[in-house]
Amino acid sequence: MEIIYTQLFGSILDMLHFKYLLPLLFGTIAGVIGGALPGITITMTIIMVLPFTFGLDPLQGLAAMTGVYVGGSAGGSITASLIGIPGTPSAVATTFDGFPMTRNGEPGRAIWVGVWAAFLGGALGGIFLIASTGPLAAVALEFGPWEYFSLFVFALSMVAGLVGTSITKGLLSGAIGLVITVIGTDPIMGVPRLTLGTDFLRGGFPFLPVLIGIFAFAQLMSDIEKMRRGAGGVAAAGPTPRLWVSQAKVLWEILSRPFLLVWSTLIGVLIGVLPGIGGSAANVMAYDQAKKFSRHPEKFGTGIPEGIIASEASNNANVAGSLVTIMAFGIPGDAVTAVMLGAMTIHGIQPGPLFISQHPAVAYGIYAAYLVSLPLMVLTIAAGSRLWMRVISVPKSILIPIVLVLCVIGAYALNNIMDDVYVLLLFGLAGYAMVKLGIPLAPLILGLILGDQIEVNLVRAIANDPNPWLFITHPISGGLLAASVGSVVLALWQHRRHQQRAGMPEDEDNDF
């Protein structure tokens, strides 16, 4: 262990040299900007940065991409908090309390609670993973299709904690998300399903345009509606936004909740280590867990710091887990690490079980780049804080068209086809209709994230062995399914307790 930390400390000192610090800083700035722009994802940003790394040595290039990853993960919370539109899919849950806090007249607090939670969660996740790479890798290697299926079912059980005031409407929202994943081509056999004979539906609905449509259009339409009612012409109502906040007070808000910080970090780390799940699920799952363990779950969604802390701490800890997955197994945990895997291959480096022993300088250099990029991310956001804050003081008549154009560009740039823009418009109208009907959006997004993975791993498990009892008799799989049942029961109990506190009949809000 002493040797590990000696090597890590030496790599951090090397990373502070101008040769490595400059590309790391450039990547971090690019990541923050790309993450903050709705529709311009971390994946798109890292792809744009990739060509600039070809002329650099391997560690310089990987440092730049690590900076993009860390900066983008935190940058997504900026627009999530300021205008209610997540800059990245992994910042979805941050909107639930970040944007209400901004509308309550505390945009600076909303941003900095998210930034410092991302910093602390990322730092804890990085330290934990550097010390525990071996044991976590051994656990991940035990996962087969049965375990993955049960894990995704457990994640889907979080829908019960996100239903809001109506169980019926919340479950309906989650079911809509699952149905969306069924439309298109079968991911295993390649057979078209529910396409109505049209080419438009044959490819299914890409996640990014659906996400932008559901959140961005629903928010923009609501704002336009308020403008027509004379609710005001600026993006934020209420008191004049405060540009500066007490950093000590914000840090105390986070550090005074150590269990929430550590538990959310652990969720992000574990989900990051397991490939294919990603920061979106970690973000929502940590938010759900924070709500379950809270003494006042009814306040979630009104602008309380607990929701922001949970979502952002898990979000950045997820980055550390994804980096370990690619380094230890050579398996990309998400689209961003898939690009990094390609960059390593271009430089003649093959990640996998022997990566750390064969390329120790590069391996510890990546760890060092990750740790150094965390304070760089904070400094980058602080340097641009005046710019971020000005976003909410822009008149809506100017801001809404700009955001709309960025959303359309982001959707189109995904595959350079107009079909993705049509998907954005379609789900924008659907999201607005759901808001008007009081149907929560979060369960839909969770169902959309997990639907494909549940189906793929179910088919793989049955193809290996049709015995359904294996889902229960496999210890990890059975444990996860039991945890899923417990999660639903706990959420229903909390729902009933909230109704009793509010003095509402139990079935009053379960109807349309």
Mean pLDDT across the chain, nearest whole number? 79
Q: Lowest mean pLDDT: which of 1-10, 72-81, 455-464? A: 1-10
Average of per-residue pLDDT across 431-452: 80
Across-strand partners of 395? 234
Residue 373 is predicted with a pLDDT of 93
Residue 330: pLDDT band with limits 50, 70, 90: low
Residue 139 is predicted with a pLDDT of 66
Residue 2: pLDDT band with limits 50, 70, 90: low
Assess contact for 450 and 157: CB atoms under 8 A: no
SS3 at position 349: coil
263, pLDDT greater than 70: yes
Residue 504 is predicted with a pLDDT of 52
12, pLDDT greater than 70: yes
Task: Return the higher-pLDDT residue of 159 and 218.
Answer: 218
Token pair of 183, please?
């439309």
Residue 22: pLDDT band with limits 50, 70, 90: very high
Task: Return the higher-pLDDT residue of 415 and 150.
Answer: 150
Token pair of 38, please?
């709705």
Residues 63 and 56: their CA atoms lie apart, in Å, by 10
Taking alpha carbons only, the member of 86, 84, 70 closest to residue 36 is 86
Q: Lowest mean pLDDT: which of 128-137, 202-211, 430-439, 448-457? A: 128-137
List pLDDT tens digits, range 161-200.
555 567 777 778 888 888 888 888 777 777 788 777 777 7
Task: Return the higher-pLDDT residue of 245 and 133.
Answer: 245
Q: Is 397 exposed, middle or buried (0-12, 13-18, 19+ CB in 10 A)?
A: exposed
Residue 160: pLDDT band with limits 50, 70, 90: low
CA gyration radius for the chain?
22
Residue 276: pLDDT band with limits 50, 70, 90: low
Residues 355 and 329: their CA atoms lie apart, in Å, by 9
Average of per-residue pLDDT across 429-454: 81
List pLDDT tens digits, range 374-393.
999 999 988 887 776 665 55
288, pLDDT greater than 90: no
DSSP assignment of 206-247, as one string? -HHHHHHIIIIIHHHHHHHHHHHTT--SBSS-SSPPPS---H
Residues 329 and 353: their CA atoms lie apart, in Å, by 6
Assess contact for 160 and 491: CB atoms under 8 A: yes
Residue 133 is predicted with a pLDDT of 62
**Helix segments in 349-474, DSSP class H:** 355-358, 360-383, 385-390, 396-415, 418-437, 442-464, 470-473
Task: Return the higher-pLDDT residue of 222 and 173.
Answer: 173
Residues 193 and 203: their CA atoms lie apart, in Å, by 10
Provide φ and ψ at 3, rounded to 5°: -65, -40
Average of per-residue pLDDT across 422-438: 86
Residues 270 and 226: their CA atoms lie apart, in Å, by 42
Residue 303 is predicted with a pLDDT of 85
Residues 212 and 428: their CA atoms lie apart, in Å, by 8
117, pLDDT greater than 90: yes
SS3 at position 105: coil
Residues 13 and 245: their CA atoms lie apart, in Å, by 32
Residues 310 and 260: their CA atoms lie apart, in Å, by 7
User: Cβ contacts of residue 475 below 8 Å, gap of 6+?
Assistant: none
Token pair of 360, please?
């120790």
Q: Which of 53-57, 124-128, 195-199, 202-206 has the highest mean pLDDT?
A: 124-128
Task: Return the higher-pLDDT residue of 120 and 179.
Answer: 120
Assess contact for 467 and 137: CB atoms under 8 A: no
Residue 116: pLDDT band with limits 50, 70, 90: very high
135, pLDDT greater than 60: yes
SS3 at position 111: helix
Q: Is 90 exposed, middle or buried (0-12, 13-18, 19+ CB in 10 A)?
A: buried
Domain residue limits, the chain: 2-502
Q: Give, for 185, the enclosing helix (H) or strand (E).
A: strand 184-185
Residues 96 and 250: their CA atoms lie apart, in Å, by 19
Instruction: Show the CA angle centred on residue 131, arms to residues 125 and 132, nearest 5°.
Output: 80
Task: Return the higher-pLDDT residue of 232 and 155.
Answer: 155
Task: Return the higher-pLDDT residue of 248 and 358.
Answer: 248
